């Protein structure tokens, strides 16, 4: 064993192992006997180990005094009490929490009551509004499907001058506008437009009208007009009267319903 | 209490943190001695040692949940906490007590004298060893106290000091050389030291 190997081997041992190294490491001991420097170093290490052993033995029984334990136990109890739930604090804070919950409970009831009142009010208003704005299918029909006793002088095909407004209907109260138009291509000779009062009760001809579109109260709330028109007489005998149809036309120009008069 | 003494340090700590005072008492009585002696060896002052012991276990009560058993033993963890409190105490209040006055009172009270001359020599030896250890630089003194006086393994000492095992080994080697020189110097001044040391070694 060289001195380097001796130092390397000795460094791997603790001080106590080195001081007790007698039989367990013969190589270290034999080298220490042969080498004066390494032997001196080993002796010094043993001396240090012996000194530290003395110090260790002297202080082995030393402990902290009972005062430290009492202080720590007091601190431990205090910490445990702080971490534990405190009923006193709960009693103090309970009325506040109760008052707050009671306040929020009353507020919730008030909010629900207000919501109900508003809902009822809005529902009533909506019903009133919908009663004023009856859909065309049910509202216009009485006004427009009343039997127009008018027998318009329908111009014959190709004759645009024979437009007459032979209105004989006794219930036409508003101004009657008659306008005849001639449509060469379609063969529609003339049309009579009349505005009919909405308050006229006509129920007998309601069933004759056929609704052509769906009307909701918002889009069909305005008055409508009944337009009577003669249909082309193609295929019909010349002597007989041409078929007449009545169209319920809204102010937006869209036909709401139609019926064949004769 | 009899069952508590069979529990490990980590189990006792868990129960103590749950509010079990008996578990804390058992843990304290099991570990306060080494912590106290570590602080005593590091500072040379029984007052500092008591204060550090108290601070360490107070820390355990208040911040014991920070301990992670997977990172090492509780004993090594406590030594690490104690080391920090010793450093703080030495920097704050007690620098004069460290270098000049080792604990003659406690050491002398424990000595059993069989021979008056040997008692004097032993007293001189004790004082010289104390002074030699306390005069070491702090990072050398730590490894000597932990590995030689408290017989911690290198791994546990490395965990306590927060360094590598190789660092512990090299510091210890260097500290032994320094102690040897200091003790030789003391022996030259007071020859009785070497004789007592030799007897103790044998």
pLDDT tens per residue across span B161-179: 889 998 998 898 899 889 8
Query: Cβ B149–A68 below 8 Å, yes or no?
Result: no
Per-residue confidence (pLDDT) for residue A210, from 0 to 100: 85
- Per the CB < 8 A criterion, the answer to whether A196 and A174 are in contact is yes
Instruction: With beta carbons under 8 A apart, name residues in chain B contacting A76.
Output: 16, 21, 24, 61
Residues A235, A229: Cα–Cα separation, whole Å: 17
pLDDT tier for residue B83 given thresholds of 50, 70 and 90: very high
pLDDT tens per residue across span A67-78: 989 989 999 988
pLDDT tens per residue across span B24-41: 999 999 999 999 999 999
Per-residue confidence (pLDDT) for residue B35, from 0 to 100: 94
Per-residue confidence (pLDDT) for residue A201, from 0 to 100: 44
pLDDT tens per residue across span A150-204: 444 443 333 433 333 333 333 333 333 333 333 333 333 334 444 444 444 455 5
pLDDT tier for residue A218 given thresholds of 50, 70 and 90: low
Interface test with chain A among B61, B173, B175, B196, by most A beta carbons within 10 Å: B61
Q: Is the pTM of this model over 0.80?
A: no
Instruction: With beta carbons under 8 A apart, name residues in chain A contacting B19.
Output: 80, 83-84
For B110-202, give the CATH class.
mainly alpha
Per-residue confidence (pLDDT) for residue A235, from 0 to 100: 57
Domain range summary for chain B, segments of one domain joined by + = 1-101, 110-202
CATH second-level architecture of B1-101?
Answer: Orthogonal Bundle (1.10)
User: A36-59 and B192-201 are packed helices; what angle lies between their axes, rounded to 10 degrees?
Assistant: 90
């Amino acid at each position: 064993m060289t001195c380097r190997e001796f130092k390397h081997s000795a460094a791997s041992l603790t001080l106590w192992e080195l001081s007790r190294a007698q039989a367990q490491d013969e190589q270290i001991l034999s080298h220490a006997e042969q080498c004066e420097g390494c032997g001196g170093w080993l002796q010094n290490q043993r001396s240090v180990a012996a000194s530290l052993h003395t110090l260790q033995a002297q202080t082995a029984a030393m402990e902290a005094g009972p005062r430290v334990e009492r202080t720590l136990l007091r601190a431990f109890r205090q910490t445990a009490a702080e971490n534990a739930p405190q009923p006193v604090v709960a009693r103090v804070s309970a009325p506040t929490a109760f008052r707050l919950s009671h306040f929020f409970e009353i507020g919730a009831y008030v909010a629900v009551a207000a919501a109900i009142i508003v809902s009822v009010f809005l529902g009533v208003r909506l019903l009133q509004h919908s009663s004023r704005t009856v859909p065309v299918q049910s509202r216009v029909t009485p006004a427009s499907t009343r039997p127009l006793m008018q027998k318009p002088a329908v111009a014959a095909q190709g004759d645009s001058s024979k437009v007459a407004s032979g209105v004989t209907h006794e219930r036409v109260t508003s101004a009657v506008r008659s306008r005849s138009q001639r449509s060469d291509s379609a063969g529609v000779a003339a049309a009579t437009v009349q505005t009919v009062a909405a308050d006229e009760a006509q129920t007998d001809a309601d069933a004759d009208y056929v609704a052509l579109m769906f009307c909701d109260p918002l889009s069909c709330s305005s008055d409508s007009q009944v337009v009577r028109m003669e249909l082309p007489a193609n295929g019909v005998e010349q002597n007989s009267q041409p078929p007449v149809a009545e169209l319920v036309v809204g102010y937006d120009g869209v036909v709401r319903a139609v019926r064949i008069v004769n | 209490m009899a069952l508590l003494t069979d529990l490990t340090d980590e189990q006792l700590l868990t129960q103590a943190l749950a509010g079990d005072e008996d578990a804390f008492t058992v843990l304290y009585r099991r570990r306060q001695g080494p912590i106290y002696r570590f602080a005593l060896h590091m500072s040379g002052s029984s007052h500092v040692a008591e204060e550090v012991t108290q601070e360490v276990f107070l820390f355990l009560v208040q911040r014991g949940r920070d301990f992670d058993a997977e990172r090492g033993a509780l004993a090594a963890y406590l030594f690490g906490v104690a080391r920090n409190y010793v450093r703080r105490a030495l920097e704050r209040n007690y620098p004069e007590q460290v270098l000049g006055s080792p604990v003659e009172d406690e050491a002398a009270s424990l000595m059993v004298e069989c021979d008056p001359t040997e008692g004097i020599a032993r007293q001189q030896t004790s004082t010289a060893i104390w002074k030699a250890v306390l005069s070491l630089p702090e990072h050398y003194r730590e490894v000597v106290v932990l590995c030689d006086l408290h017989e911690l393994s290198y791994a546990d000492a490395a965990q306590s000091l927060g360094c590598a095992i190789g660092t512990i080994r090299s510091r210890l080697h260097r500290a032994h050389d320094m102690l040897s020189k200091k003790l030789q110097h003391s022996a030259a001044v007071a020859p009785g030291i070497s004789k007592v040391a030799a007897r103790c070694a044998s």
